[in-house]
Amino acid sequence: MKVFKFGGASVKDAKSVKNVALVLESQGFEHCILIVSAMGKTTNALEKVVALYFQKGNYKQEIDIIKQNHIDIAKGIFCDQHSVFQEIALFFDDLEAFLRRNKSPNYSFVYDQVVSSGELISSKILSEYLNEKGFTNQWLDVRDFIKTDDTYQEAEVNWQQTEELIRALPENASYVTQGFIGSDSNNFTTTLGREGSDYTAAVFAYCTDAEAMTIWKDVPGVMTGDPRKFENVSLLSNISYEEAIEMAYYGASVIHPKTLQPLQQKNIPFFVKSFLKPEEKGTKISLTAKNELTESYILKNKQTLIRIATRDFSFIAEDHISHIFQLLNQSKIRVSLMQNSAISLALCLEDPFGNIDAFHAELSRDFHTELVKDVSLFTVRNTDLKDLHKFYKNKKVLLEQISRNTLQMVTQ
């Protein structure tokens, strides 16, 4: 079995959907599982629906815009009488019915039930189109296969149950299903965190003992830096699981942090390739002796720097750190960089759920704190430590850390 994941950019319009068939024509579709993201910026648009719903705004108007966008894409692919238009209408009817009937005030719960619609609709459109083009496939509702806990917006996979369900799939067929979503024990929809479609693909690859997994992107593969942010970047042809995990941890957006562990456990090769040029080799991530330790650059924006000190100038001890990290865990705030001295602790934080102010208020009850929002974390991997001065030019550095061949700096 092969696992292919197509992200939002690869199915953003009718032309892109048709291009997926061209990619499969060049790669082969026999015994394949396709994981599909929502089309284009649909997830962002559905997040706006959730926000308007809780603000008592006109969320129906936003739903109508999203619905029309999907109808327009389908019109560029199918004849007017195709059954897919009824399918699209049903998905949006279900979405509006849920919001009409919902009584839960839990934002994360509502978010997951609404935002998951994007993947369900995009995968149905792609599945129908591929069947028409001779790529015979069965559409699967991934919620019947990936089972999770009820941590809405960032659910944890129940691996035992998920593996049993996926392994029951017949191996002599091909499938199209959704990334990013699953369901809990009550069959309510859950999501695996933003950009979780890559993780979904890794779960299917692990559970089917796939021969390989490929993520199709609008870039040639894993680069030494985001070409939208850095000049003179180049392609990394071969990197190890360990190096890829490090890059993902530091914030390389082309790889989802959770994706690599299940693949590494079974030594499943992982390719990152361009859907615009599928004939090119892209990047291979595997258990390799050809690891390219080329200097690479990662920039994470929208970070928060917080400095923490005890009120009585006593040491930052283990009980203090334990308390701080317990609060971080409760607030779903991620630590991108940590640096401590005897009486202070500095943390560079990522706040995906907008909880930083509440966290800061709680922390300030017991500690002296200093908060700086909207900073950037710049990481250089595999660099020559004798030639670091070039990275400091025109930067206001608030915090820096050097370890082995990695430089990190928080800048404003």
* Confidence at residue 280, expressed as pLDDT on a 0 to 100 scale: 93
Q: Is 118 annotated as a binding residue?
A: no
Q: Is 119 annotated as a binding residue?
A: yes
Max alpha carbon distance in the chain (Å)? 74
CB 72 within 8 A of CB 80: no
Per-residue confidence band for 291, with pLDDT thresholds at 50, 70 and 90: low
Q: What letter represents residue 387's amino acid?
A: D
What six digits make up the tokens of 30?
């026999």
Q: Is 134 annotated as a binding residue?
A: no
Q: How far apart are CA 185 and CA 169, in angstroms?
A: 20
- pLDDT single digits (tens) 184-219: 999 999 999 877 899 999 999 999 999 999 999 998
Q: Is 28 annotated as a binding residue?
A: no
Walk across the sheet containing 175-178 and list its strands: 138-139, 175-178, 32-36, 2-6, 212-217, 270-274, 283-286, 238-240
* Confidence at residue 383, expressed as pLDDT on a 0 to 100 scale: 86
Per-residue confidence band for 343, with pLDDT thresholds at 50, 70 and 90: confident
Q: Helices 117-132 and 14-27: crossing angle, nearest 10°? A: 60
CB 327 within 8 A of CB 367: no
Percent of the chain whose pLDDT exceeds 90: 77
Q: How far apart are CA 306 and CA 370, in angstroms?
A: 6
Per-residue confidence band for 289, with pLDDT thresholds at 50, 70 and 90: low
Structural domains for the chain:
2-217 (3.40.1160.10), 296-411 (3.30.2130.10)
Q: Is 5 annotated as a binding residue?
A: yes
Q: Is 43 annotated as a binding residue?
A: yes
User: Does pLDDT of 97 surpass 60?
Assistant: yes
User: Does pLDDT of 290 surpass 70?
Assistant: no
- pLDDT single digits (tens) 303-314: 999 999 998 888
Q: What letter represents residue 283's amino acid?
A: T
Q: Which of 249-253, 352-356, 380-384 ranks highest by mean pLDDT? A: 352-356
Looking at the DSSP bridge assignments, the partners of residue 213 are: 3, 270
Span of 245-254, 309-318, 376-385 with lowest mean pLDDT: 245-254
Average pLDDT over residues 215-227: 91
Looking at the DSSP bridge assignments, the partners of residue 340 are: 345
Average pLDDT over residues 18-45: 95
Per-residue confidence band for 18, with pLDDT thresholds at 50, 70 and 90: very high
User: Does pLDDT of 86 surpass 80?
Assistant: yes
